[in-house]
Structures are given as C-alpha cells and as structure tokens.
Structure 1
Amino acid sequence: MAGEITDTGDLYSPYVGLVYMFNLIVGTGALTMPKAFASAGWLVSLVLLVFLGFMSFVTTTFVVEAMAAANAQLRWKRMENHQEEEGDDSSSTASDSDGLTQDNYERAETRPILSVQRRGSLNLFEITDRVEMGQMASMFFNKVGVNLFYFCIIVYLYGDLAIYAAAVPFSLMQVSCATGNDSCGLEADAKRNDTDQCWGPLRRVDAYRIYLAVFTLFLGPFTFFDVQKTKYLQILTSVMRWIAFAVMIVLALVRIGRGHGEGHPPLADLSGVRNLFGVCVYSFMCQHSLPSLVTPVSSKRHLTRLVFLDYVLILSFYGLLSFTAIFCFRGDRLLDMYTLNFAGCDIVGVAAIRFFLGLFPVFTISTNFPIIAVTLRNNWKTLFHREGGTYPWVVDRVVFPTITLVPPVLVAFCTHDLESLVGITGAYAGTGIQYVTPAFLVYHCRKDAALAFGRGTANKHRSPFHHTFWVGFVLLWAFSCFFFVTANIVLSETKL
C-alpha cells in the first residue's frame, strides 16, 4: 500500500539495485516510443527525450532526499519515545515527560537530537525504513495535499491498468487476425481498420473485445485477493523482456545494414509532440516505486551516482531502440505496440521468433496487471481510511475491487489506441507523480528538517539540485507541460 511503512526485506548490492531500477523504468512505455518518435521527428524527439530524462533524474533525487528526511523524523520520534521510557523508569519530572509526548519540533532547540545521534554509529538521515510516498505525503503535507496526492496516484494507476488491459487484447488481435498474405499478414495490419474482417463474420474489433473479455475473466479476479510471491514470475518476465528488446534492436540493425531500411523520419513535426511528451514522461516513471527500490540497497554511499548512471543507460537504450525503429520502418507502418512490426515473414523468417515478439506483451503485461490492480485497490482503501475504523466485508472485498477493475476495462473496451492512452496518462497523472509531488515533498521536508534539527544539519542524501530554484523550475515546467498538452488537445479537437 502506498501509505504504509514496511519491512525492507532482503538487502541487495547497489549494482543489483541499478539493474532493478533499469527494469522498473524500461517497460510498456518503451514499446510505444518508436511510433511517437516517428510522429514528432527525430531531432525534436531526441531533444525532448534527453530533457525529460534529466528532469526525471532531478525529481528522483528529490524523492531520495525526502525519504532520508522521513527516516530522520521517524528515527527522532523513536529516540524521543525511548528517552521518555527511560525517564519514566528513573522517575523523571512530570514536566520533562509532558514535553516528550508533544508532537512538535520545538524541543530541537533545547535538546538537540544530534547529541543523541553521536552516541550511535547510525547516521540520522540513513535510509533504513521503507517509507512509501503516501506516508511521506502524510508526514509533510496537510490533509488537502495528502488527498491530492492519492487522487493523482489513483488516476495514474487507472491509466496504467487501461494501457495493460488494451495492450494484451490488441496484441492477440493482431497476431490472430493475420490475413495470410506474403508478409504473413501482420505487418499489413498496420493499415487495416477495426471494421475489417478477422475470422469469418467476426470483425477485428469483435476479436479485440472477445480477447478483452477473456483477459478480464482470467486476471480480474486477482483484484479481489492479495497477490504474493511473484518474485520468480517477475524474474521470468524480465528475462523475456530483455530477450525481446535485444532481438528487436538486432533485427532492425541487420535490416538497415542490408539496405532494406524504409524509414525517412522528418527532422521535426510539432503535431506529434503532445503524444511524444506523454510517452516520454510515462517511460521515465519510477518515482512512486523508489522507496521499495532504494531502501533495500545495502550501501547507499554513492547512490546519486548510480542513479545518474542508470539514467544514462536508459537514455542510451531508448535512443537505440527508437532510432533503429524509425529508420527501419516507415512512420505510417509503425504500430502502437512496436513488437508487432516484427511479425512479418519478410522481416523475420523464423516463425517462433515472429510469434514470440508478437505475443511478448501478452506474457509480460499480464503478470503486472494483478500487482497494479491490488496496489490501486489498496490506495483507494487508504484514501477513505478512518483512524481506528474498519470497512464492512462487502465494501472491503467487493466495492473496492470492483471500482478498481471496471473503469480501466471500460476504457479498454472503448479504445485500443495505446499511443494516446500512454500519452494522456503520462502527460497528466504522470506529470503530477513525476514532477509536482517530488517538488513539494522536497520543499516541505527541507523546511521540517531545518525546524527540527537546525539549519546546519546536513542530509547525507541531499539532492545535488538543492537550490530552491530547482524546485520552482520543476513546478514551472510541470505547469507548462500541463498547459501545453491541454491546449494541444483542444486545438486538435477544434480542427476535427
């Protein structure tokens, strides 16, 4: 659940953490990026990709700093409670006991926590407790801010589920509705409409909705239970993902090297920037999962450098995948799900590889859907939770899972335009989670830390972008993005 402090679990090395972060960030968004690159032009796409990668790195360091500040606050409270217990055992004065139970920071001036800290080897700002973003929001925001955070994360998770619910049936439709021409039919499907025939009297859209119903019946029930012990399943899907990405890059490079590349992408096309922006924001999304990812790292001494290295690698990978795609395939032949472009016999001669790439999203996305659905359900519970209260069985086991599952399935029923789904989710909810929330978290945690521990106390995980200018710049950029995307959508609808 987004709002609880949990055990960190088994520790792992910084380099294992680097791999985990890489796997977390590089996901479904990468498969929709090639078409977005082709629509916006290669130069505009490259510039925007690098800039959004940099902005994501900035806010990632903000979240890490807020995590350290939250750990310091929790550690301070534990020390205070421990001292209170010692004071009670030694018959300390009533006035001292009263001061220890007050939930404020005024005692920092008369009894600084640093004097307690020096007696131990643990740094006050060491990240040892896994404090999720929801818990940090409740620590540093007021009630309105907490509710806005949960609203934003819920909308984002709904978008995630809608993307997953559309991607799997869409991939199955594309593979099963092959027309049987000389390119095995799948590549030609890029130009086909939903109303075209699939099998017999069934149209392609009918096949898509049948697959959506089957997908919902198989994976939907997991929303009503807790998903546990997915470690080995996640390892398997990660291996499959990297095999698929490596195969696609190699095949595209071979095709270009042989002179069969058909792509001639424009330098810039501003009409495609809106979707590209949303896709790129979505593709760099990791801030909401950082507490679970960073806390178990055994040594956090060079954490910022490792995160920077990860972003450089991810940028390089996105660039390689997208540039090989847009120069290998014509822009009008690129599908929303990039894997489907390799399902043609003229591109891949081995049938096993064609079907592996065509069905790759089915295997990998299906394993993530139940996990995200349970996460969304738990966030709904946290948003409406009352201190000390419990939910009736019907509300807990029926209402919350139902409101979690039904909306994304309805969205997927109405559209399978993955590029637009990813773009809108990233441009709106993604902007809130990736930019706005980290900026406000780091601003308020710095104020609280200065009040509690004094302005001279150094947070060992302080962001390199510690000047207040960066907080304002991130918020200004987030507002500009929101305004730009909204204006672009309105103008597009007006032209239609």
Structure 2
Amino acid sequence: MAEINDGNQYSTWVGLIYIFNLIVGTGALTLPAVFSRAGWMLGLIVILVLAFISFVTVTFVIEVMASANAIVIWRRIQQRKRALESLGDSEPFNSDSEDTPLVHAAVASSVGSETRHRYYVINEKIEMGEMASIFFSRFGTMLFYTCLVVYLYGDLSIYGAAVAKSLADVACTLPQNLTSNDTIPDAEACWENSSINRLDAYRLFLTLFVISLGPFVFFNVQKTKYLQYVTSGMRWLAFSIMIVYALRRIIVDGPQGNPSPVNLSGVPGLFGACVYSFMCHHSLPALVAPISNKTTLNKSLAVDYFIIAFFYLILAFTGAFAFEKLDNLYTLDFGPGGPEAFTSFFMVIIEYFLALFPVFTLSTSFPIIAITLRNNLQTLFLKEDGTYNFCLRKLIFPILAVVPPYLIAMSTKDLSILVEVTGSYAGAGIQYLIPTFLVYHARQKTQEVIGQGVINKFASPFKGIYWLVFVIVWAIACMILVSVHLMEVHLADRSVRE
C-alpha cells in the first residue's frame, strides 16, 4: 500500500547519498576484473554508456512514481465525491477545489499552474509492485514479480558466494612459492596435510553462513538507520583504502597490470557487472519519497550518476593497472598471506579488514533481501483475499527464499558468472525493460484519466517514443550477446573436460 510520507524527511543531498550507498555495493567489487578483461578503452566506453542508459531508465521510474501518485490522488478524490453524492451533499462547482476531476479539459485549462501540478507529486511511497498493479494488466504484474523474484534469487546467491569465498580465502593457507600470476585450484588442500580442499572449505563456510542468517527469514527484521550508518562507513573506508593502495602501487612500483585497450570477448562480463553495479530502480520509491525538496530531482540524480560512474572508473582503472592478475572479487587481491602481503601489524589488520569486508556488509543485508524475496514470493503465488495455513505461509515460503540461492552458490563459486547472469537477464529486466514499459503505460493511462492539460513536472527529459524503443532494443541485444558468450563458455568447458 502507498504510505504518506509526512515524517522522517531529509534533504536532497541526503537522499542522493542514500542512493549512492545503495548503488555502490557488491557489484563494484567485481568491476576491476571484468574491466581489465574488456580492455581499458572499451571498458571506459561501456561503463559510461551503461551509466547513461541506467540514468535514462531512472528518470522513467521517477516519472512513473509521479504518475502513480496522480492516479492514487484522482481515485481518492473520486471516492470522496461518490461518498458525498451518496450522502446527498451537493457542493457548488469550484474549479480550484481539490475535488475537481481533472478529466475536464476546461477545468484543466482554467486552474493555475500550481493547482495543475499538485496531482503529479511524489508525496506517497508507492512501491514498484503497486505501480505495476496500477499500470499493468494482471499478466504484466505477474511478469514483474517473476522478474523481481529471479533477480533477488541471483542477489542472494551472489551474497552467499561472496561471503563464503572471502571466508575460505582468509581461512585457508596459501601454497608455498605462490606467485601473483598463479591460480590456486579448488582441489588444493585448504590446510597442510588436510583432507579438506578449498572447494570443501568454501561449501562449509557457505553452509555455516546460511544456517546462521537463514533463520531470520522466518521473522520480520527492519534495517535500522544506525546499522546503515555503520555499513556505509565501512564501505567508504574499504573502497578508499583499495583505491589509495592501488594508486600507491602504480606510483611506487609502476603498473603491474597491462590490460589491452580493446578486448571484445570481455564485453559480456562487463555488461552484466555494470548492470548489477548501477541497480537501484527497485528501491527508488523508498529513497526518493522522503526527499523534502524534489524540484531539481532529475538534475540531482544526473550528478549522482556522474559521480558514481567516475568512482567506478577510478576503482577499475587503478585495479586493472596495479595488479598483474585480478580476482573476480576485488577485495581478495588484498588478502592476508599473499605474495603482496604486508609486514607491519597495522597493515596486516588492513589486509584482514579488506578481505573480510564483504562478510561484514553482506551479512547485514542478507536477511533483509531474503525477507523481501519471501514477501514477493507470497505476492506472486498467494491471493490477497485467500486464507492459507500456517505451514504454507510461515514455513514453505521462507524455505523457498533461502534454499534455492544456497543450492546455486553451492554449485558454483564463480562470482563473475553469477553477476553476469543476474545482471544480464533479471537485472536488465528490472533496470531497462520494466521501467520502459511502465512509463509507456503510465503516459497512456494518465492521459486518459487525468487529461493532457495537466503537466507532470517529474516527466523524464527523454520523452520521445524513440528513447523507449532504443532502451528495449539495447536490452534485448545485450541479452543475446551475453547468451552467446555463456554458450561459448559452456562449450569450451565441455571440450576441456572431454
């Protein structure tokens, strides 16, 4: 349901910081490796292009939020009018009244600018699911929830794999005479003279992680603002240390990495990572609605996206040139005990902090994402007016929210594949296709219900139908590109095994 947002408001800059913190997360840790594989020049172009297209669809979501508010306000006014008519109360017609239906063109043209704008506001937090139910058919709404559920499954799989991989790499000892260009096989013993190999250790830590945090999905857990402050502070500290240390290596020791300018084979992986790294669309209503002054919202979001793209480029460039070989999870390149290990106690603490950074941050988010997935599964499969037994609602759906991501992460520890698949399919659906179809249907419905004479001041600057077609064609082309790449990888792996 829509929530009137009359309290807990914050300024535009605070809202943009929250959006920045939401976007810059786990996906950023996978960027340096895929950026290096795609080539520094091609990677630069891809990141900037994907940042721009992501911003375009963000403006679509903002427009749809205002349109949804307009429809909700209009419906509320109609209900109020019908209630007054049923009571036999006849009020004189007043064109400046909130109760005036805006479908009348004469009324729309006679009222002032401020009155005509009041319907297109973002005062109520209307979540993406409710917007889908307003503007989509029943079938379209089901497709939306299906896409969101698939994305959340991928999200939880990435979280579990990142945490388990970080814990296993810290806990397991490294082989002797290891060089920076060596890859440690999964069959390598985790500890000397141990029967547990590194893959076993990964799966053990993954199981312990899910057993520890999975039970929270059976309850309702709310993220407090203090927890958000702590995790945001840790995120900024970790990213700052990684950038500064990589810059130091480049300046003092010279560039260790030598990425090519262009490598087309690395583009699909970079696409999936970028889509995942620029994702915020599904959480925009909760972050934008409390902003007190929204007059320059689109311009402020453009600045936010520019800063995020610049930040990603700094992180990717410094990592690609500072390290000869990059792990799929960037924090593991700073892990303790490796060939670039520090000797001072303080720097060893920094090593462990960076290596365990995904554990600290993702552990706080895992239960919240799992509960969100559980709720969306219930919305997808259960009827609102239905009565269901305790076992189905309180046991089956929580288990369905946790077990599939656990099994996916157990089957592979390759974060690049998980991010590529999640970002390129479900992520592209949420970031590209759903906002585009939503804004198309929202424009049609508001024109029919509210009328053309009322201006949506939150309308996207990308208004033409050609922008909608471009985003859809782009999303489909990228999905095809990634599908071909994954098929090639699968065939290559099968030929190696044979």
TM norm. shorter chain > 0.5: yes
Is 2:125 the counterpart of 1:125? no
Please list the CA deviations of residues 374-421 of structure 1 after superposition, one character each: whole Å capped at 9, or x if unmatched. Answer: 000000111123242232110111010011111000011111100110
Structure-2 residue corresponding to 1:101: none
Aligned equivalent of 1:303, options 294, 297, 307:
297
Contact 1:76/1:113 (<8 A) preserved? no
Residue 270 of structure 1 pairs with residue 264 of structure 2: yes
User: Which residue does 1:392 correspond to in 2?
Assistant: 389
In structure 2, C-alpha distance between the alignment counterparts of 1:201 and 1:228, rounded to whole Å = 41
3-state SS in 2 of match to 1:178: coil
Identify if the C-alpha distance between structure 1 residues 117 and 368 changes in structure 2 by more than 3 Å, giving closer, same or farther.
Answer: farther
Q: Match for 1:226: what amino acid?
A: N
C-alpha distance 110-180 of structure 1, shift in aligned 2 (>3 A): closer
Give me the whole-angstrom Cα distance separating, in 2, the residues matched to 1:229 and 1:472.
Answer: 38
- Report the counterpart of residue 338 of structure 1 in structure 2: 330
Residue 112 and residue 451 in structure 1: after superposition, are their counterparts in 2 closer, same or farther (change >3 A)?
farther
Deviation at 1:128, TM superposition (A): 0.6
Distance 1:225 1:117 in 2: 49
Q: Deviations over 1:82-125 (max 9, x none)?
A: 222333334459xx9xxxxxxxxx98248957879989697110
Correspondence for 1:99: none
In 1: Cα distance, 2:102 partner to 2:349 partner: 68
Which residue of structure 1 aligns with residue 18 of structure 2?
Answer: 20
Equivalent runs, 1:248-327 vs 2, <5 Å = 248-327=242-321
Which structure 1 residue ranges, 5 or more long, are not aligned?
97-105
Partner of 2:198: 204
Take 1:19 and 1:424, find their aligned partners in 2: how far apart are those partners? 28
Q: Which residue of 2 aligns with 1:149?
A: 144
- Asked if 1:442 is matched to 2:439, the reply is yes
2: CA distance between counterparts of 1:458 and 1:107? 11
Aligned to 1:48: 46
8 Å CA contact 2:180–2:339 kept in 1: the answer is no
- Note the alpha carbon deviations across 1:346-368, whole angstroms, 9 max, x for none: 35441100100011110001111
SS across alignment from 1:191: coil
Q: Verify the 8 A CA contact 1:190 1:334 in the aligned structure 2.
A: no
TM-score (ref. length: structure 2): 0.91
Partner residue of 1:102? none
Is 2:399 the partner of 1:402? yes
Q: Is the 8 A contact 1:234 1:367 kept in 2?
A: no
Q: 1:50-69 alignment to 2 at 5 Å? A: 50-69=48-67
Structure 2 residue 72 is the aligned partner of structure 1 residue 74:
yes
TM-score (normalised: structure 1): 0.92
The offset of 1:40, in angstroms, is 1.0
Q: Deviations over 1:313-349 (max 9, x none)?
A: 000000000000000011xx21111011112463544
- Tell me the distance in 1 between the aligned counterparts of 2:114 and 2:468: 35
- Matched-pair contact (CA < 8 Å) for 2:70–2:121: yes
Give ranges in structure 2 of 5+ residues lacking alignment. 94-100
Query: Letter of the aligned partner of 2:22 in structure 1?
Result: L
Change over 3 Å in CA distance of 1:378–1:367 after alignment to 2: same
Tell me, yes or no, if the aligned pair for 1:171 and 1:358 is still in contact at 8 Å: yes
1:380 partnered with 2:374: no
Q: Aligned to 1:174, which of 161, 169, 178?
A: 169
Find 2:351's aligned residue among 344, 350, 354: 354
Q: Give, as a single letter, the amino acid of the residue that structure 2 aligns with 1:477.
A: W
Task: Calculate the aligned-residue CA RMSD, in Å.
Answer: 2.2
Write the letter of the residue equivalent to 2:61.
V
Equivalence for 1:466: 463
**Alignment match, 1:160:** 155
Does the residue aligned with 2:306 lie in a helix, a strand or coil?
Answer: helix
Contact 1:174 1:189 (8 Å CA) reproduced: no
4+ residue runs of structure 1 moved beyond 6 angstroms? 113-122
Whole-angstrom CA distance in 2 between matches of 1:116 and 1:378: 43
Conserved? CA contact 2:102–2:450, under 8 Å: no
Contact 1:112–1:453 at 8 Å: present in 2 too?
A: no
CA distance in 2, matches of 1:42, 1:188: 21
Paired with 1:5 and 1:116, the residues of 2 have a C-alpha distance of 27
Give 1:230's aligned amino acid.
Answer: T
Q: Is the 8 A contact 2:144 2:434 kept in 1?
A: yes
Q: Deviation digits for residues 286-333 of structure 1, max 9, x if unmatched? A: 110110110000000000011000000000000000000000011xx2
Q: 1:234 aligns with which of 228, 231, 241?
A: 228
> CA offset at residue 491 of structure 1?
3.2
Match of 1:31 among 21, 29, 32: 29
Q: Which amino acid aligns with 1:37?
A: F
Residues 8, 290 of structure 2: 8 Å contact kept = yes
Q: Matched residue of 1:281: which SS? A: helix
Q: Deviations over 1:186-206 (max 9, x none)?
A: x85961011001122211111
1:489 is matched with which residue: 466, 486, 489?
Answer: 486
